[in-house]
Structure 1
Amino acid sequence: MELEELDPTKLLVPGRDVETIESWADRNGVTIGTARAWVYRGVLPSLKLGKLRMVNTVLLRSWLLEQEWTA
């Protein structure tokens, strides 16, 4: 599965600024391994909170909105 194949309605969750890689993967129907690989390759924006690496959904949302305007 590629990032472009994900359901946009699941990607844009209001009020959720960051979430665990596992939670993001589960909500978007990809394996945890795939989501983790996307985070560490820089495909999914992330940040580190303590020892946890979290998906930065604010940056992801911003990037997705930019793609809408340039597509």
Structure 2
Amino acid sequence: MELEELDPRGLIGPQQDVETIESWAERNNVAYGVVRAWAMKGVLPTVKLGKRRMVNSALLRGWLLEQEWMA
């Protein structure tokens, strides 16, 4: 299976590690344009799977936990 054949909808679930910018924005009730800007500026960690840029929620959770530990 090539990465271009990967169907991102199959990755969506309550504890997904990667998801599309669109679904992350919808799930977190943030405007798509805002989330896309965060992703492009590196505010949100992303990974490219095929032609799609996906939010890497595993990295985001790790960073948030690290910040909590340091506080």
TM-score range normalised by the length of the shorter chain? 0.7 to 0.9
**Amino-acid identity (%):** 68
Show the counterpart of 2:30.
Answer: 30
Instruction: After superposition, give the CA deviation of every residue in 1:3-61 in whole Å (9 maximum; x if it has no partner).
Output: xxxxxxxxxx8530100000000011100000000000000000000000000001001
d(CA) in 2 for partners of 1:27, 1:67: 23
Provide runs of 4+ in structure 1 moved above 6 Å.
none
The structure whose Rg is larger is: 2
Structure 1: gaps spanning 5 or more residues: 1-12
In the alignment, structure 1 residue 56 sits paired with structure 2 residue 56: yes
Find the residue that maps to 2:39 and give its secondary structure. Answer: helix
Q: With the length of structure 2 as denominator, give the TM-score of the two structures.
A: 0.78
Deviation at 1:70, TM superposition (A): 1.0
Partner amino acid, structure 1, of 2:65: L
In the alignment, structure 1 residue 21 sits paired with structure 2 residue 18: no
